[in-house]
């Protein structure tokens, strides 16, 4: 829903958006991302069937000297709390950066809210 088409004042539109935006709406409203095309701004979204879920944001990506893709990933436990960049332990990546499979394993090990799905906002 866009602000101009909603018929709401801007403050009412923001309130409606904040009330209805969550990990389930990200899962359903954003496009699927192929694991070979992960970019900064993409998200790992976990949500089984609505209700409580989780979203992590890819902050940066790089390639090591062996050609492996690595990712800095940030998240928060609630949207209203502080956001932080998570440091990857050795079993999930290298040098504090996550591998794709390492971050998926990290989420399964620490945040049991469903299988992580890659998503991206459309332009």
pTM above 0.95, yes or no: no
Distance CA 42, CA 51 (A): 21
SS3 string of 26-67? HHHHCEECCHHHCCCCCEEEECCCCCCCEEEEEEEEEECCCC
List pLDDT tens digits, range 42-59.
999 998 777 788 889 999
Average pLDDT over residues 54-68: 94
Q: What is the pLDDT of residue 2?
A: 60
Q: What is the pLDDT of residue 49?
A: 76
């Amino acid at each position: 829903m866009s602000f101009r088409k909603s018929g709401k004042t801007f403050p009412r539109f923001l309130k409606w958006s904040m009330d209805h935006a969550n990990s389930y709406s990200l899962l359903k409203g954003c496009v699927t991302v192929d694991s070979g095309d992960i970019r900064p701004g993409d998200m790992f979204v976990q949500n089984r069937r609505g209700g409580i879920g989780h979203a992590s944001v890819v902050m940066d990506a790089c390639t090591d000297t062996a050609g492996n893709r690595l990712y800095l990933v940030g998240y928060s436990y609630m949207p209203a709390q502080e956001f932080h960049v998570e440091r990857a332990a050795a079993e999930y990546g290298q040098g504090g950066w996550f591998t794709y499979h390492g971050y998926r394993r990290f989420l399964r090990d620490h945040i049991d809210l469903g299988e992580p799905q890659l998503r991206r906002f459309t332009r």
